[in-house]
Amino acid sequence: MKTTTKLSLAAVGAACALSAASRYFYRFAVLKRKNYDNIWASETKPQPYAKLRDCDREKVARGIDFIFESRPEEITITSHEGLRLAGHFIPHENPKGIFVMVHGYRSNPSNDFSGAVLPIYNMGFSLLLIDHRAHGNSQGQHITFGVKERFDLVRWCRYLKKRFPDLPVVLDGVSMGASTVMLAAGLALPDNVKALIADCGYTSPAEICKHCLKKWYKLPPFPLFYTANSVVKKYAGFSLTDGDCREALSRNRLPILIAHGTADDFVPYRMGQENFEACRGSNAIFFSVTGAEHGMSYIIDPEGYTEKMKELFRMAGIEWE
């Protein structure tokens, strides 16, 4: 076989492998899974993470019980493409404001907020636990890493503005939810939104995907990320390069608390630092939690976290009990 023929066959083989890997990335990372565990449709309540310490497991279990025993009101709104988006509302009898809790990638409000819901409720806040598109009771087939979810979040804020015009709103996100909050900070949020919390959020969809390719699969971003993004654009209608939290935060004027655990092995700690450094003015707080893994900052240091939230509330002019 001639050398040129061998090279041609090798090139064709490499192209086929790259195409297959790109489609796998789309199915694995973006497409909604058929066996997605919907906590609102399950006959049993979720269980706390097994890795938690006994004392923390008890706190989380109480939070899970609180969410489901409160029998939250299911609310639906419509996305700009016509998707039905679901949320669950837990009203406080004498609310000082409303916390909108924005969960992470392939997760749910119980997983990401069960350690914090009861303390925040006891501070005097009603709670809105939203389901991202392609999660929970919301419609949609594609997870967009905050690119489209940020616009969904603005619609939730408008809904609350119309229903509760006098109550201040705090947007509180974890992981992808945190990045959704930060991306939304670069949009025209309604004036009922007074403060933001972003816990362990990534800098951009592109950067976290490139990081995961290198960390989990030992693959360089080039060329796979770029060919995979072409597949994502074709089938999911968005680009992983469409949003950058740092750029959005450079335009944000709302008080924001950015928290990140130093032991985060999913979203690197440096990303939290970069997001904080992108903030302008003196309205940003950075809370570094030593030894906290991904999404565990509140569990590891609830007292410190609460003090930072109170500092945020003071900056935003929000009362609390």
The percentage of residues in the chain with a pLDDT greater than 70, rounded to a whole number, is: 92
Determine the pLDDT at residue 55.
Answer: 64
Residue 98's closest CA among 78, 72, 79, 77?
72
pTM of the complete model: 0.94
Residue 30's closest CA among 175, 230, 266, 265?
230
Residue 180's closest CA among 226, 112, 126?
112
Segment 55-85, tens digit of pLDDT: 688 889 999 999 999 999 999 999 999 999 9
Please compute the mean of the pLDDT values over residues 175-182 and round it to a whole number.
Answer: 99
Question: Which domains can be identified in the chain, with CATH numbers?
Answer: 39-219+242-316 (3.40.50.1820)
Segment 212-263, tens digit of pLDDT: 999 887 878 888 999 999 999 999 999 999 999 999 999 999 999 999 999 9
Residue 47 has pLDDT above 80, yes or no: no
DSSP states along 114-133: TTTHHHHHHTTEEEEEEPPT
Determine the pLDDT at residue 53.
Answer: 66
Determine the pLDDT at residue 50.
Answer: 57
